[in-house]
Structure 1
């Protein structure tokens, strides 16, 4: 199985809801009850889960369809046509759910991040530290402002940006940190808040995967200076594309509005440099249709994810994503684990995934390469504006210090990822299928040599 790089924009096209499986350990079946049940399905045995669909995604119900129809008939399709349209109403309702005074809706999570970077005044000559294990949109937001994305390594078991590696990469030009709440679980915010305060840095939360996740009583995105969300189709609150920005800083949010409105303030004055990133009314309608029941799905995902983790932790060689102290709830946009091939007699992850798929549980390696290994690095090294803004000596040092060995290990050997927006809305029996399939592979791991 050749792993595919999955981005916010391409994920759903790469893995369909009907083809995605889940990952966990629960009510174990007694394999061996029939003549072929101990035999791996990939070698001709009976599959644990054969031809059973998973809950579909994106979520659509009567309320969503009604909101779309109402918007179509209204003729109000652009947010500037009405101060009480779907986008403005979504902003109000989402802010209330997130426990913040205001929200600004935009066209994507990447746009939310870029708007925030610009609104904070970050630009040429400034450095922003973030994770190499994320969607390219995270660094695109920094590059679009012509700032320099400095990539820190990640923690091996949480898959989150490593605070220790971040602190050693801080320079006199560092102005902000963007921790990414990967898989919808909180990064180590206690440490990042401490580092940001110590070095007088902005803290931008990339919460694009982390809707409704909670850390020490607060919603992710509401803890740093500003928080950004994606509403792309695969996300747990989705509208095809779309993004949103939240903060407790009203002045900053006003600046975010101006930036995303091509630099034009609510007073109608063109005041700054800014792209046109406005969310349209159809996206707002879809989001409004989902919000009344979104927390019900959030609760179910957490219930199923916690059940999976309680069982999977007992399967040698697979470890559920580490959660930091203070984590209360996760988004569980993705459910991820660490694979230890040594427990499986050195069998590489690709064979394990192939065998798991044959049992009816399709899991992915997720991101193929960390962003530190992508061509954009050479691109900015050779751009005249980056040479001018940062100097060739700094760019040379930048490239020399780009190594992120833990990220490489995760990408090359250890990540196991189940897309969870739809599948984690399944039944406990669905979760047991995941658990039983993984248990079967462990108990019959000697057979993996023949895969």
Structure 2
């Protein structure tokens, strides 16, 4: 069967399509773990494990408070943060989000990609410079580097965690390396001790792409506060959603002031036009939608972690399925996605596409995930641009091209399976049992997969 690759957002939209806003009550039989040896797979005409719809994200969290906030913002006429820079919805969100993450400062932006781009600019990264990052990410990570006409250098992954590998980072460091941008993929922490050890040894700043990792902690510290700067996304599929939106958090007074100025088209808080910057401001409508979610955002985060721990405790006992490795010290995950590795040898050599088709037939929405960014057209495109030919030596560009061989990333891309964490991980224990039952049913009847 033809292999499918999914973008982060395409997977979420496919998952949500056709779902009801709230899951219906389960029948007495649903949610109970069973012996599936006498069952027939739904893909072969048997009864599916689950027939109830799953909740839709973010429609399930729309409430009176959110609608009231949007209405109040509309009536106020103050739709841009510059209309109320101190007490507006964006400014209020920044203060509350900083407090929730334990950061000293927060600056709202128009998207997670913009947040990353502002950080690149704030660190003075420019043509001729290199930024080391993960190939297993949304293109927004890469785009934030390319926008500065810097060169993204991709380092391979730790296969078990899907995270960028610190040892691979160290091998890619050159005199032109001006930043390291680890991506906390799925919302789980990279091995930040190892990464920071490499960065500190070489005195290279770290920009954390924590766009999927709202509230997740590593050794008690909020992801995004371990490096120099941390970035988050509030795009419609994220755990805190505003359609679009992003934020930068940090503790360095001077650097965060520069972040504010750059996202405000180069204009500082005194209204002085002092540097180069694009307008990347969050607007007041986004701020009002985000503010209404913060009261219950941590509660939802904790529920996702509770359900994910339960899923992992069961799934790890099914041969051929291995939950994403969480590094020692990963106190929690944002669980943008719940993920595990699929080994077809334990499933009658059925390829991943067939396994996913069988899982979908049982009523469980799941999919493969993104492919490595090293395979996309941008890698050839930038090599043809005059700005890259002019600002980078032939040796640099050849090193970039040669370093696109990333076998662990390819292996992850071919074997990972994801389930949306946004809404599904907010379900009941019975909902989680439906997922487990479907996986166990397919494994028990694996010889019928062909």
- Report the TM-score, using the length of structure 2 for normalisation: 0.95
Aligned residue in 1 for 2:364 = 361
2:83 matches 1:81: yes
2:5 & 2:175 partners in 1: Cα distance? 37
Aligned residue in 1 for 2:51 = 50
Relative contact order, CA 8 A, sep 6+: which one is greater? 1
Aligned residue in 2 for 1:177 = 180
Structure 1: give runs of 5+ residues left out of the alignment: 21-25
Aligned residue in 2 for 1:430 = 431
Instruction: Verify the 8 A CA contact 2:134 2:155 in the aligned structure 1.
Output: yes
List per-residue Cα deviations over 1:235-284 (Å, max 9, x = no partner).
00110000000001111110001101111111111111111000000000
Aligned residue in 2 for 1:91 = 94
Aligned residue in 2 for 1:205 = 208
1:310 & 1:296 partners in 2: Cα distance? 21
Aligned residue in 2 for 1:373 = 375
Instruction: Verify the 8 A CA contact 2:136 2:373 in the aligned structure 1.
Output: yes
Aligned residue in 2 for 1:31 = 36
Pairing partner for 2:413 from 411, 414, 420? 411
Query: How has the CA–CA distance of structure 1 residues 204 and 396 changed in structure 2, closer, same or farther, with 3 Å as cutoff?
Result: same
What is the CA distance between 1:411 and its match in structure 2?
1.4
Instruction: Verify the 8 A CA contact 1:217 1:328 in the aligned structure 2.
Output: yes
2:73 & 2:53 partners in 1: Cα distance? 36
Aligned residue in 1 for 2:299 = 296
For 1:154, what is the secondary structure of its paired residue? coil
1:140-179 equivalence runs, <5 A: 140-179=143-182
Aligned residue pairs total 438
Aligned residue in 1 for 2:327 = 324
List per-residue Cα deviations over 1:40-62 (Å, max 9, x = no partner).
11001111112433354242111
1:374 & 1:80 partners in 2: Cα distance? 39
Pairing partner for 1:68 from 67, 70, 78? 70
For 1:329, what is the secondary structure of its paired residue? coil
Aligned residue in 2 for 1:264 = 267
Instruction: Verify the 8 A CA contact 1:184 1:210 in the aligned structure 2.
Output: yes
2:13 & 2:318 partners in 1: Cα distance? 31
Instruction: Verify the 8 A CA contact 1:242 1:283 in the aligned structure 2.
Output: yes
What is the CA distance between 1:18 and its match in structure 2?
5.0
Instruction: Verify the 8 A CA contact 1:19 1:362 in the aligned structure 2.
Output: no
Aligned residue in 2 for 1:194 = 197
Aligned residue in 2 for 1:14 = 14
Pairing partner for 1:343 from 343, 346, 358? 346
2:309 & 2:205 partners in 1: Cα distance? 33
Structure 2: give runs of 5+ residues left out of the alignment: 21-30
1:382 & 1:245 partners in 2: Cα distance? 32
Instruction: Verify the 8 A CA contact 1:17 1:54 in the aligned structure 2.
Output: no
What is the CA distance between 1:11 and its match in structure 2?
4.7
Query: How has the CA–CA distance of structure 1 residues 56 and 106 changed in structure 2, closer, same or farther, with 3 Å as cutoff?
Result: closer
2:12 & 2:365 partners in 1: Cα distance? 14
What is the CA distance between 1:2 and its match in structure 2?
4.9
For 1:121, what is the secondary structure of its paired residue? coil
Pairing partner for 1:384 from 386, 394, 410? 386
For 2:276, what is the secondary structure of its paired residue? coil
2:332 matches 1:334: no
What is the CA distance between 1:329 and its match in structure 2?
1.1
Aligned residue in 2 for 1:442 = 443
